[in-house]
Amino acid sequence: MRRWIIASVVGLAIAASVPATAQLAKEDDGGVKVRRLSMMRNLVSAAKLEQAALQQYDQLRSQATTRNALIAADDPLAKRVQRVAQDLLPHAAKWNPRAKAWKWDITVIKTPAINALCMPGGKIAVFTGILDALKLTDDELAVVLGHEMAHALREHARARTAKVTLTNVGTLAIGLVIGGNVGELARQGGGLLALRFNRDDERDADLVGLELAARAGYDPQAGITLWQKMTQAAKGTPPTWLSTHPSGEDRERRTKAALKDVMPLYEKAKASKPPAAAPAPTAN
């Protein structure tokens, strides 16, 4: 998204992207309807963009480590985020075959920023602010993670990197794209963490995120309560946040409209889940 952020101690900007075509596509066995992928993304090498994303992700982790803000992988909070994310991962390749080869990684960073992100190549960062301020349930967390994963799976950053650079530097950018210097493209575009996705991309990610959550057995109705919480948290937010994001009310309305497409997926996933293990007996 870039997206949920209200304030950031590490200076991350909210994201937004290029409009794809207005044509809708229906994906395989039911689910949501989404726009066709932007053809502009083909100007940028996916593999090289993912490499640039890895470098910036490593920098983010390094900065968090320096600030003693990197939550250990064995911390209960990190384990919770990892568990929910792992449930969603088996359903990612439907939206992008490259996701099968991605080396997914999940980082939790201690900061009051209400934010989360997933970079090209499957590098996920969740800020504790979004967990604490919104008091997310697992279902709501699944919707958040699904939304972020959707940005990567739908290659919004790839399309945006191409467009913002071509817009900014014209012919020079074309040479860079053809030459495959994606790292330079990312720098000229302000860095992948600073890319801005537009409202259409946010709506796209909302829908795909709902489906990912539903297929993983998380209640997509949590998207309604999530956006209600976001609307409350966003009060007093500068206009720039609202300028690139659909309003909370709009997202709530669209979530309700999408339930007819994703609730059957949720019910199917829930029915196929193994029963929870009985608690171990306590010693007398």
User: What's at 130, amino acid-wise?
Assistant: I
Q: Which residues are catalytic?
A: 148
Quick one: CA dihedral 132, 85, 139, 150, positive or negative? positive
User: What's at 195, amino acid-wise?
Assistant: L
Dist CA 134 CA 21 (whole Å): 34
DSSP secondary structure code for residue 196 in this structure: -
* H or E element, residue 151: helix 138-153
Dist CA 116 CA 14 (whole Å): 10
* H helix count then E strand count, the chain: 11, 5
> Does residue 197 contact residue 160 with C-beta atoms inside 8 Å?
yes
